Structures are given as structure tokens and as C-alpha cells.
Structure 1
Amino acid sequence: MHLYRSMIGVVVTAVLASSVTALGASAAHADPVDDFYVPPAQPTDSPGSVDRTQPMSLFAALPGNDGSYPAQAQRVLYTSRTQDDTPVAVSGTFVETEVPWRGAGPRPTIVVAPGTVGQGDQCAPSRAFPTSINAVTQPLSISFNQELLSSTLWGSMGANVFVTDYIGLGTPGLHTYVNRVEEAHAVLDGARAAVELGGDANAPIGIWGYSQGGGAAAAAAELAGEYAPELNLKGTWAGAPTADLLEVLKTVDGTLIGGVIGYALNGFVERDPSLRPLIDERLTDQGKAVLNELSTECIGDTILEHPFLRTETLTKDGKSMLENLRGIPQAGAIFDEQRIGRSTPNAPVMITSGINDDTVPYGQARQLAYDWCALGARVEFRTNSLPPILQGAVLPNHFGPQLIDGYGGEAAQFLMDRFADLPLAACSVD
């Protein structure tokens, strides 16, 4: 454990210091949008197949003894499937390290499911890997690569890393935010693409995600046996998973990132356009305009332009958007379909949650562990007891547990133990 804690300290310090240095430069020299994200006219039909790669510089990695950065990065365009099984192109990033693997067994690949970055194409994590920050000036939008810590942490321990952009981030179409099936497909097909790029069909796979990424990781864990049974999945960390979306959106309404409710609504309409008139008739003109604005924003833009957004300010009757959705039967069915915990993961999962998390409620994350335990899954649930600080401000109460659990060594240790094939009790909920 001491090894991981010391590695994490170096990683966090290096990445944060480098990000501050890059902030001024990247906004003035943002990479132009190129043709990489435009899918081929005839995309590969097989899920997980690599359609295209593009070498790119890597902003953060721990340098080797000679001062060089011992990793190679490339953008990847690969095939996945929508919820109705339609082939779709998805982008991502593959980081192949030359650092010796510090764990047991062969070198693994960690597939990272990113936390919330936004809904606009400019927010795709793969666009920000070379500089850590991607800036667009018309209109002004700034996106930070939140997964620099996770990719640098695992790369420094000798694991390859694949970070998916999810469906519709960077590539054509709207990002279907918190869509359980589509996020799971993007993660699992990202693992398949990484296996193809790495050249080892039996490479050990670990899945890693927090918040939106925790929900995507959990969804991938429970669909892996059905959707991608050939993967050598060893384990998953699902931090603050969005397992019960209704509970999550009810909690987040009015917080600093309340605008993410708009991301979710926009994504549901993208897949079921018949919802559009039913939602529009409940919104004011300003409410419609806000939803449209949110569809093109990154999370930083949303915080600056719509902080502490309450959806009751967008509706004609002055009631919250979720209350209004209760009058739309098909909306209820859509939310029910997003519920995680009804299928059994085929590999061990660690779930972590902050008891004072003011964004992704603790109770529904803990319930996910109980649901999976009842199905016979191998689960560890760990409570983070960080005291509440500035409720509704998101940063300390939601991201504090991420730093402690994800980068404090516990989640990494869990996956390292799985790569070493150490036994795990059937179910443990603290």
C-alpha cells in the first residue's frame, strides 16, 4: 500500500503542476477540429473493432530515468452499439506504457470510464490529452481532461490505459449522457479495441470509473458476461455510481452542477424523439433555450453559465422537471431502464461512496451493493466518512471521496489484488 500512496502523491503533484503551466498556453493554441472524429462511410460492423488511429502527444506521464516519457498515446476510433444495437463510431484514447508492470501476472489494461465532462463534442477527453485543456473560442468553451490522474497513475504502475469518450462525445450525434446500456457498450467495446491494439487477446482488463464514470463502470460490469464474455475482466472499481438515476437527478437539482439534468434529458430525447413535444409543452421558452445551450456545453461552461440551476425555473407550472416527467409514462419507462443492479457482474466489483456525497447519493450506491450481493456477485462496498463541507457545492463532498478512495490506494489495491488472482469473499458491505 505504501508503494501506491507514494506513487499517487508524485502523480497528483506532477499533473496539477503541469496543468497550471498549460492553462495559459492551451487556450491560445487549441487544436483545431479535424476529420479524425468523422466516421468512415462504411464503419466496421463488429463491436470493438478499430476503425482508425492517430498518434498524439501525451501531456502527462511520469518521466523515466533519462527524462523521456515512457508511453505512447493515440486517438482511437472504434465501433460500438447503441441501445437498439445499431453500429456507431466512438472515439477514445489508448496509452501504451513502457514502464515495467509493478503487479502480478501479465501487463493489464485499465479501461477508464470518465466522469462528467459535458455534452458538446469539444468536451471529449481525447481532445484534451495532448495539453490537458481543450479550448474553443467561438463560442468560448474550455474542457479539462479529468482523467489525467487516473491514466498517469496506472501508466506509472506499468498498466496500459484506454479512456473512452462515450457515444456522441467528439463523434456525430448527441452524447447520450447516463444512458446505462450505451455507456456500458462504449466501455466494453473500448476494452475490445484496447485488446486489439495491444495484440494480446487474453490481456487482463480492469474497469475504473467515478460518478458518471462509476455508473458506466458498474453498468459495464453487470453487462460484461452477456455483451463481451470473451474479455478477461478481472475486476471493476465503481466509485459513486449513478445506479438509481431518479435519485441522483433529484439530489443534483439545485446544486452547482444542476445543469447535468439537461444533459440527461437531451440524451433521452436523442434516442426517443417522440419525447421532444411532451417535454417542450412543459417548458417555458427560456427552459427550451437552456436545454439547447446545455447540449453544446462542457461541464465547466455549465457551472459558469448555469450554477445552482433549479429545474423548476424552466417549467411552466413552476414544478421541477422530474415532477413534470412523472406525467409522461414513457419517461418513467426510460428512467426505469437506467437502473443498475438487476444483472450479475461476472467479475469482482468494488463500490465506494461518500456518506455525505451531495451529488450522487450514498443510499442508492449502497443499495446497488445489496442488489448485486442478492444475485450472488462478488462485491466490496466501502463507505467514505468524510464530514460534510459546504453542502451543494459538489467539490468537497463529491470529489473529496474520489481523491481519497480512487487515488488514496484502496481502489488501486483492490484491482491489483484481482490481477494477482487473490480470493475475494462473496459479499462485503461495511
Structure 2
Amino acid sequence: MTEFYAPMPVERKRRPGSLLRTQPVSVRYLSDHTRAWRIAYVSNDSRGERIPVTGTVITSNPVTESATTPIVVYCTSFHGLGGECAPSQQLVTGGEALDQIQAVLDQGWMVAIPDGENLGIPGLGPHTFLASRAAAHVTLDLARAAQALSDSAHVCQSPAPIVLWGYGDGGRAAVWAGEHHRAYAPDLDLRGIAAGAVVSDPGALVRSRRGGPWSALALAGLIGLSRAYHHLPLRHILTEDGLRVAQQAETLSAAVLLDQFRQPLEHWCKHPYPWDDPVWRYVLTNESRSGAGAPEVPVHLYHGSADRVVPVESGSGLFGEYQRRGVSVSWCEYDANHFRAAIDSIPDVMEALAGFLQGPRTSR
């Protein structure tokens, strides 16, 4: 762990998206022509309190000062609750998948990758997995921070056109950022959103699928949401063994979580249907389910029809909900599993993002 991630206080008066620290870095396996920075910036948590968060900004082709380079905020899939699994760390060590990032750089665009609340900076508690409001804030504020960095580094002029892209949990973050854009960050020139394998209703998915990977992810969601809404009595549903396991899991990567916690969530709970607890019903309904709002920019949703991690019905259900709400939304389905669809979709996503960037300016 480098000094860059040392804890940093954030005053309430600091504006969301303002830079706290920057550090030039080399991203392993990317071209020597790329320029990359770790950045720490200001955002808001689920309750509107100022927090420090970290991320990475990468650009490939230097442009003239008169050019405005589009910024793609790319939200990765779930990496874990703690430890050294933040994307900004994995990009430097070579542990982060680069297919999507390279595809953006090949277009000559800037890419910004958020770590997520409480990943990277130690001592803040576990990552607030499934806390969609915080994910939206962190995503939108990274777009602000990337513009501030590009100005100071003389990479491009701002304001830049912004598009959001995410897959899996990152897709959920991208659509929530779109739903909150007008209320939270109307200054951003957001042009469109691409989101794949979106878990639109985590509570319903956990109820319908017990065992397998969703056992560990359900436990991770319980830990993440209880951290995000620590003012609510959310861990009261856990047994003593469950409390011990939750504390242990707070520092683990996704790979270790999936390997070690295969029991259904109720194994660690006092009752067989923990998500039916009234407080949990409130949190899951109001703070983690997508489709409650309507993005004002076009959205491209996609999914693998053979996805065994996130059922295709989760994404298609959100597509239908957005259609009913009048969102300009497209849908693409691939004959592929969860991991293959993430790769097979890249050309179509690039085409969708390019189309969005040709759209009208949206910032106020």
C-alpha cells in the first residue's frame, strides 16, 4: 500500500469532484503512449456526507488545447469488500482486465475508472457494495474530477462530453448515476449510458436464487449496505456466527468471498427470510433497486442469454421499465454466458457510445 492511499480528511466545504491527490502511474500491459494518474477526489456517501474516494484516469493520444476529449467513466464489476482489490491498485499490478479500457483508449477517448466507496483508502470500513446512491455519487464525481485533472494536465478543454459504461455491478452503478444525474450533477454534459448484466433488483434476485455465487454476493451485499446505512439496525438479523463471519469478510476480495462462503444467506441469520425484515425491505426497495428514476439521456442495455450469474430477466426487466418511463433505451442480447457477453458486447457498446457522443449537450 503506497502513501497515496493514506487516510485523508475531507472538509464539508470541499466541492464534490474536487481533487485531493494525484499521482502519475504506469498501467501494466497498456501501451507506453498512455498517460495515467491515480486520483483521490471528493464525493458524497449515501447520506450526503463528504467522503474521500479514489480512482484512475487514463488517456492515450495527446490532443491540442483546442480539442475536447470525451470522457468515458467505466465502472468495473464487483472486486470485493476490502484488501488490495481496488481497480486503481489492480491496474498498476496487472490484475485488472483491460479489454474494455483498451477499447475506449483505441477511440482516442479518456477513460476514468472509479474504485468505489471505501475501496483503496484503508480504515474507512468495507466497500459499500449494493449501495446504489453512493455508487451514483462516486461515478458522477469522478467525471467531475477527470475534467479537473485534464484541465490541470493540459490534456483537453472542459467541459467535456461524458458517457458512462459499466458491467455487472458496474452496470448497476452506471444506470443509477444516470437516474441521479439531473438532481446530483446537472453541470455534467452527460450524453448516454451503456450498461450490461445489470442487477436491477438485488433483493428479488437473492430471494429467487440460493446457493452458488449469489450466496457469497448476498452476504457481501448485506455487509456493504449495513456499512452504507450504519445508522440503521441492519446487522441485527445476523447470528453471533454471522456477525463474526461478516467482520472477517469485510477485508476479502470477490474471489475469496466466492470460494469461502457458499452457504445460503439465511445460514448466518436468525430467521430463514432475512430480506423480509421491515428495515431491510425499506433499504432494498429504496436504495438498491434500479428503475425508480428515469435517465434523461439514451441508455443501451445488454445481457447474455446464458448468464448464470445475473439472469437475463434482470436486465430485460429494467429495459421494459425504462420503456414504460419513456427513456430512449435499446436492448441487445448475446448467446453467451456472463463472462463471454462482457467481451462479445464491446464492439456494439463502442458503436453505442460513439452515437451518444454525437448527441446534444445536456449540462445546464
Asked if Structure 1 and Structure 2 have the same fold, meaning a TM-score greater than 0.5 normalized by the shorter chain, the answer is yes
Distance 1:277 1:204, change over 3 A: closer
CA distance in structure 1 between the partners assigned to 2:323 and 2:91 by the alignment: 37
Determine if contact 1:252/1:359 at 8 Å carries over to the other structure: no
CA distance in structure 2 between the partners assigned to 1:196 and 1:100 by the alignment: 16
Cα distance, 1:156 vs structure 2: 2.3
Moved more, 412-421 or 107-116: 412-421
Unaligned runs of 5+ in 1: 1-31, 64-68, 134-144, 387-396, 423-430
Cα distance, 1:371 vs structure 2: 1.6
Output the amino acid matched with 2:71.
T
2:74 to 112, 133, 157: 112
Determine if contact 2:4/2:21 at 8 Å carries over to the other structure: no
Cα distance, 1:176 vs structure 2: 0.8
Cα distance, 1:332 vs structure 2: 0.5
CA distance in structure 2 between the partners assigned to 1:41 and 1:382 by the alignment: 42
Distance 1:43 1:150, change over 3 A: farther
Cα distance, 1:261 vs structure 2: 1.2
CA distance in structure 1 between the partners assigned to 2:131 and 2:340 by the alignment: 25
Distance 1:253 1:55, change over 3 A: farther
Cα distance, 1:420 vs structure 2: 2.8
* Counterpart for residue 85 of structure 2: 123
Distance 1:253 1:170, change over 3 A: farther
Q: How does 1:39-58 map to 2 (within 5 A)?
A: 39-40=8-9, 42=11, 45-58=14-27
* Counterpart for residue 5 of structure 2: 36
* Counterpart for residue 154 of structure 2: none
Determine if contact 1:43/1:79 at 8 Å carries over to the other structure: no
Determine if contact 2:234/2:280 at 8 Å carries over to the other structure: no
Cα distance, 1:217 vs structure 2: 0.6
Structure 1 residue runs of 4+, over 4 Å off? none
Unaligned runs of 5+ in 2: 152-156
* Counterpart for residue 180 of structure 1: 132
Output the amino acid matched with 2:131.
N
* Counterpart for residue 390 of structure 1: none
Distance 1:411 1:154, change over 3 A: same
Please state whether the residue corresponding to 1:258 is helix, strand or coil.
helix
* Counterpart for residue 233 of structure 2: 275
CA distance in structure 2 between the partners assigned to 1:401 and 1:129 by the alignment: 22
Q: Note the alpha carbon deviations across 1:205-260, whole angstroms, 9 max, x for none.
A: 11110000010011011111221111111111110111111123235531135312
* Counterpart for residue 81 of structure 1: 44
Output the amino acid matched with 2:101.
S
CA distance in structure 2 between the partners assigned to 1:218 and 1:230 by the alignment: 18
**Residue 358 (str. 1) matches residue 308 (str. 2):** yes
Determine if contact 1:239/1:351 at 8 Å carries over to the other structure: yes
Greater relative contact order, per chain length (Cα 8 Å cut-off, separation 6+): 2
CA distance in structure 1 between the partners assigned to 2:26 and 2:320 by the alignment: 43
Determine if contact 1:91/1:170 at 8 Å carries over to the other structure: yes
CA distance in structure 2 between the partners assigned to 1:403 and 1:357 by the alignment: 13
**Residue 297 (str. 1) matches residue 252 (str. 2):** yes
Output the amino acid matched with 1:309.
Q
**Residue 334 (str. 1) matches residue 283 (str. 2):** yes
**Residue 314 (str. 1) matches residue 275 (str. 2):** no
CA distance in structure 1 between the partners assigned to 2:290 and 2:249 by the alignment: 25
Larger radius of gyration: 1
* Counterpart for residue 192 of structure 1: 144
Please state whether the residue corresponding to 2:8 is helix, strand or coil.
coil
**Residue 262 (str. 1) matches residue 219 (str. 2):** yes
Cα distance, 1:305 vs structure 2: 2.4
Cα distance, 1:53 vs structure 2: 0.6
Distance 1:277 1:349, change over 3 A: closer
Determine if contact 1:256/1:309 at 8 Å carries over to the other structure: no
Cα distance, 1:196 vs structure 2: 1.1
Please state whether the residue corresponding to 2:290 is helix, strand or coil.
coil
Cα distance, 1:412 vs structure 2: 1.1
CA distance in structure 2 between the partners assigned to 1:181 and 1:316 by the alignment: 28
**Residue 404 (str. 1) matches residue 353 (str. 2):** no
Output the amino acid matched with 1:114.
T
Output the amino acid matched with 1:278.
H
Determine if contact 1:325/1:331 at 8 Å carries over to the other structure: yes
Aligned-residue Cα RMSD (Å) equals: 2.2
Output the amino acid matched with 2:182.
G
Determine if contact 1:45/1:79 at 8 Å carries over to the other structure: yes
* Counterpart for residue 227 of structure 1: 184
* Counterpart for residue 71 of structure 1: 34
